[in-house]
Structure 1
Amino acid sequence: MNILLKSAKIIDKDNEVLHLKTRDIHIKNGVIAKIAAKIEPESKTQVIKHKNLHVSIGWFDSSVSFGEPGYEERETIENGLRTAALSGFTDVILNPSTHPSPDSSSDIVYLKSAATGLATNLYPLGNLTMKADGIDLAELYDMKNAGAVGFYDYKLPMTNANLLKVALQYVQNFDGLVYSFPLDTKIAGKGIVNEGEVSTKLGLKGIPTLAEELQIARDLFILEYTGGKLHIPTISTANSVKLIADAKKKGLNVSCSVAIHNLVYTDSVLEEFDSIYKVMPPLRTKKDTKALLKGLKDGTIDFVTSDHTPMNIEEKRVEFDNASNGTIGLESAFGSLNQLLDIETVITLLSKGRERYGLKSPEITEGEAACLTLFNPNETYVFTEKHIESTSKNSMFIGAELKGRVYSTINNNQHIKND
């Protein structure tokens, strides 16, 4: 690799010297060789020029699902990581949503080996319990040594409070990160959408916000008792933000994330009974989206995620009650978030979170490995199926007007370019 980025505006709030400066960046053999106001290209140097070119450190997504192994028809690891790269992401955390789901060191080794040599780095989560059945803890220590960055029974709440207590105590021996999905199944019952005016009007069984908040309150009490590191993925309600803010004020080691679609859409879109909008946690109300955005801005919510969840067409194009939860979101993540917040905040949110998983954050500095996302923050367009690189096409953003285009990513001495 020998490329020269010309007149790239750098967005990097942590870099006081280069933030908001326009510079040429010379990359040789995957390493940033030089950053200067003007660099003349050497022979055999590929010069990259784009309209309104901006550059940041490569983006990070803490909640991505593919399909391999078991559901390769939804998405393979190879194509999933290619999709991530084309969407601006150089590092992703892979959910344990496969069949079988990973609960041993050999499972983690398989996932990591399947991603070897690709531009986007994959960091797998392992099951918290064996077969994600909530009965016995999985091989947490062995999976950590094999490369698992956290432990999660994907989208399944830990109903056994004592088991969560034991897990939080046990992982402190090796600095493990425990996930707990925020849902009390007894309160949620057979609900499939947010409980409120819309669910009543449509005659759909509702999930009250209490189902999320009660579980979070329980988990935070346990964390306060045990210590350890807890992550609460994809919160969706205003009161959840308050509960976590209060816990952080107490000094508890807790983090949380929010799915971008829970920031963009409310349950009002359900009036057409389109199952593309069926997700877990469900789309909530305008009050909730406002509180979630405020929580992002003040740091209560640690990071955003696409919560990318490929599903076969036959799993979505059925009656609403029977449809599977989930939407893909990698390809639309930047363009949708960029409609809501200023570009500096957007890039900060898309770049942060690695440290929570023990990963080093890249830097835009001479001598450092090039881990970059190239983009135009101002281009607007209507998102259509042609913008989808995933094998599955279940995106709730089809037809939405988005703002911002990813040109390419540079990572692991590879340059992955959009057409």
Structure 2
Amino acid sequence: MNVLIKSATIIDPESEFHNTTQDVLIEKGVVTRIGNYLKNPGNYKEIQFNNLHISQGWFDSSVSFGEPGYEERETITNGLHTAALSGFTAIALNADTNPIIDTNADIAFVLSKSKDNAVTLLPMGALTSNSNGTHLAELFDMKSAGAVAFYDYKKSVSNPNLMKIALQYASNFSGLVCSFPLDQDISRNGVMNEHVASTKLGLKGNPALAEELQVSRDLFLLEYTGGKLHIPTISTARSVALIKEAKAKKLDVSCSVAIHNLCFTDDALSDFNTNFKVQPPLRTQKDIGALIDGLKDGTIDMVTSDHSPIDIEEKKLEFDRANYGTIGLESAYGALQTVLSTEKCVEVLTRGKSRFGVQPVPIAIGNILNATLFNPDDTYVFEKGDISSKSKNAIFEGAQLKGRVYGIFSNNKLVLKK
């Protein structure tokens, strides 16, 4: 595809054109020229937007759709289109479908559904068969079929010996094991953070301890096995400290944080809006401060929208009975920029790629273009009209956001908002 991008501010520290405003000429998907006032060499499509910025394409390490089995929540086709309009050129897909993605055939299916798409879909296989925490799934076979990691989405592995074996076995083929940080014997039926707010609201609490015990256990196991571990969506100050200590020991561990856990405290549940019922739960301002500091100093490797489409029937219930989860792709960038600078946002939206097997490609002459196009200064209230997902369970609905995405150029394809 041949495209001329006009007057774009390049945000890419790996590029010699970082923080400069340039025209970018792309021919057959490759950057052939970067400079001021480039002429259109042919009848190429020209891209011009107000306050246009481009960066390396963004990556989301925890995205759920619905297909197969829950297509009424989201399909792979529409989900990937939503990801593109949200600025993501690659997403790691969770295995929480029906059936659970736990065989090489399941991996092959989701890859076939995403073929020739602008967004690269990176499938994660379940860590245990049917994500039931009893027996390891077919990890090597799934890795051979294209799985980039193994994760029982939002389900912790309670058996420490099984987690130990998973880390040892996967290390034979450099497999990335993901462990959800929750001790279910501690959390029990808690539906929100155990704190002053839970007492006021009369809701059962899920204490920070439930997360921190699991994080601590998994780090001890990692130190013993020498495996490769990713801890998705941490939410407490102590978890940040534990992971920082582990990295100081040179353990091969990475972690992520959900963007909504950077933006809302447990006080947001005062009106029992079930869109705020998420797992891990919203915590305190102290936790938010530690999470943001962890992002800035590199303890936390990446952010995620933790996009989880849920049927309205499973959200329009009493708070105790409602399902966990929020969609987050469409609001991810605008929400993140309310707590971080533009350059730091781009950094944390791109630096998790290599952990999941995607090599970063700088914006440079001779390189294939993989880029996100956006305006960092546009402020607006996020509303239902901004949602492209089939499900509408958006925690950020009604929130003031900063920064809009125009689209992406990836895999020699251009996707722009209309």
Please tell me the TM-score bracket, short chain as reference: over 0.9
Describe the superposition over 1:232-264 as per-residue Cα deviations: whole angstroms up to 9, x where unpaired. Answer: 000000000000001111111110000000000
Counterpart code for 1:5? I
1:237 corresponding residue in structure 2 = 236
* 1:129 equivalent in alignment to 2:125: no
| In structure 1, C-alpha distance between the alignment counterparts of 2:29 and 2:396, rounded to whole Å | 34
Runs of 4+ in 1 over 4 A off after TM superposition: none
| In structure 2, C-alpha distance between the alignment counterparts of 1:274 and 1:390, rounded to whole Å | 19
1:69 CA drift (Å): 0.3
2:8 corresponding residue in structure 1 = 8
2:282 corresponding residue in structure 1 = 283
Counterpart code for 1:382? V
Asked if 2 retains the 8 angstrom alpha-carbon contact of 1:60 and 1:90, the reply is yes
* 1:104 equivalent in alignment to 2:99: no
1:351 CA drift (Å): 1.2
Q: Secondary structure at the match of 2:147?
A: coil
2:311 corresponding residue in structure 1 = 312
1:362 CA drift (Å): 2.0
Counterpart code for 2:253? V
1:406 corresponding residue in structure 2 = 405
| In structure 1, C-alpha distance between the alignment counterparts of 2:138 and 2:47, rounded to whole Å | 47
Q: Secondary structure at the match of 1:258?
A: strand
Asked if 2 retains the 8 angstrom alpha-carbon contact of 1:385 and 1:398, the reply is yes
Q: Secondary structure at the match of 1:32?
A: strand
Describe the superposition over 1:124-169 as per-residue Cα deviations: whole angstroms up to 9, x where unpaired. Answer: 0001111111111111001000000011111100101000001111
1:30 CA drift (Å): 1.5
| In structure 1, C-alpha distance between the alignment counterparts of 2:22 and 2:192, rounded to whole Å | 48
1:158 corresponding residue in structure 2 = 157
* 1:273 equivalent in alignment to 2:272: yes
1:292 CA drift (Å): 0.3
1:306 CA drift (Å): 0.3
| In structure 2, C-alpha distance between the alignment counterparts of 1:117 and 1:252, rounded to whole Å | 37
**Counterparts of residues 2-401 of structure 1 (less than 5 Å):** 2-15=2-15, 17-401=16-400
Counterpart code for 2:118? A
| In structure 1, C-alpha distance between the alignment counterparts of 2:345 and 2:42, rounded to whole Å | 36
| In structure 2, C-alpha distance between the alignment counterparts of 1:154 and 1:372, rounded to whole Å | 28
**TM-score normalised according to structure 2 size:** 0.99
Counterpart code for 1:332? S
Asked if 2 retains the 8 angstrom alpha-carbon contact of 1:266 and 1:285, the reply is yes
Q: Secondary structure at the match of 1:10?
A: strand
1:53 CA drift (Å): 0.8
Counterpart code for 2:11? I
| In structure 2, C-alpha distance between the alignment counterparts of 1:367 and 1:211, rounded to whole Å | 49
Q: Secondary structure at the match of 1:320?
A: coil
Describe the superposition over 1:195-235 as per-residue Cα deviations: whole angstroms up to 9, x where unpaired. Answer: 00000001000001000000110111111011110000000
Counterpart code for 2:255? C
| In structure 2, C-alpha distance between the alignment counterparts of 1:203 and 1:161, rounded to whole Å | 33
| In structure 1, C-alpha distance between the alignment counterparts of 2:132 and 2:383, rounded to whole Å | 38
Q: Secondary structure at the match of 2:229?
A: strand
Describe the superposition over 1:276-315 as per-residue Cα deviations: whole angstroms up to 9, x where unpaired. Answer: 1000000001010011000000100000000000001111
| In structure 2, C-alpha distance between the alignment counterparts of 1:173 and 1:257, rounded to whole Å | 24
**TM-score normalised according to structure 1 size:** 0.99
1:25 CA drift (Å): 0.3
Asked if 2 retains the 8 angstrom alpha-carbon contact of 1:191 and 1:205, the reply is yes
| In structure 1, C-alpha distance between the alignment counterparts of 2:353 and 2:50, rounded to whole Å | 30
Q: Secondary structure at the match of 1:256?
A: strand
| In structure 2, C-alpha distance between the alignment counterparts of 1:364 and 1:399, rounded to whole Å | 35
1:346 CA drift (Å): 0.5
Stretches of structure 1 lacking an aligned partner (at least 5 in a row): none
| In structure 1, C-alpha distance between the alignment counterparts of 2:172 and 2:218, rounded to whole Å | 20
1:363 CA drift (Å): 1.9
1:37 CA drift (Å): 2.1
| In structure 2, C-alpha distance between the alignment counterparts of 1:311 and 1:385, rounded to whole Å | 15
Counterpart code for 1:42? P
What is the aligned residue count? 418
Q: Secondary structure at the match of 2:117?
A: coil
| In structure 2, C-alpha distance between the alignment counterparts of 1:65 and 1:381, rounded to whole Å | 26
| In structure 2, C-alpha distance between the alignment counterparts of 1:269 and 1:95, rounded to whole Å | 27
1:48 CA drift (Å): 1.3
1:40 CA drift (Å): 0.6
Asked if 2 retains the 8 angstrom alpha-carbon contact of 1:96 and 1:125, the reply is yes
Q: Secondary structure at the match of 1:336?
A: helix
Q: Secondary structure at the match of 2:150?
A: coil
| In structure 2, C-alpha distance between the alignment counterparts of 1:103 and 1:362, rounded to whole Å | 31
| In structure 1, C-alpha distance between the alignment counterparts of 2:237 and 2:47, rounded to whole Å | 44
Q: Secondary structure at the match of 1:321?
A: coil
| In structure 2, C-alpha distance between the alignment counterparts of 1:61 and 1:249, rounded to whole Å | 26
| In structure 2, C-alpha distance between the alignment counterparts of 1:31 and 1:377, rounded to whole Å | 25
| In structure 2, C-alpha distance between the alignment counterparts of 1:46 and 1:185, rounded to whole Å | 54
Asked if 2 retains the 8 angstrom alpha-carbon contact of 1:64 and 1:93, the reply is yes
1:117 CA drift (Å): 1.1
| In structure 1, C-alpha distance between the alignment counterparts of 2:202 and 2:236, rounded to whole Å | 22
Asked if 2 retains the 8 angstrom alpha-carbon contact of 1:262 and 1:289, the reply is yes
Asked if 2 retains the 8 angstrom alpha-carbon contact of 1:13 and 1:344, the reply is no
1:2 CA drift (Å): 1.7
Describe the superposition over 1:386-411 as per-residue Cα deviations: whole angstroms up to 9, x where unpaired. Answer: 00000000001111111111111111
| In structure 2, C-alpha distance between the alignment counterparts of 1:188 and 1:180, rounded to whole Å | 16
Describe the superposition over 1:345-395 as per-residue Cα deviations: whole angstroms up to 9, x where unpaired. Answer: 011111111111222112211222111111110011111000000000000
Q: Secondary structure at the match of 2:65?
A: coil
1:11 CA drift (Å): 0.1
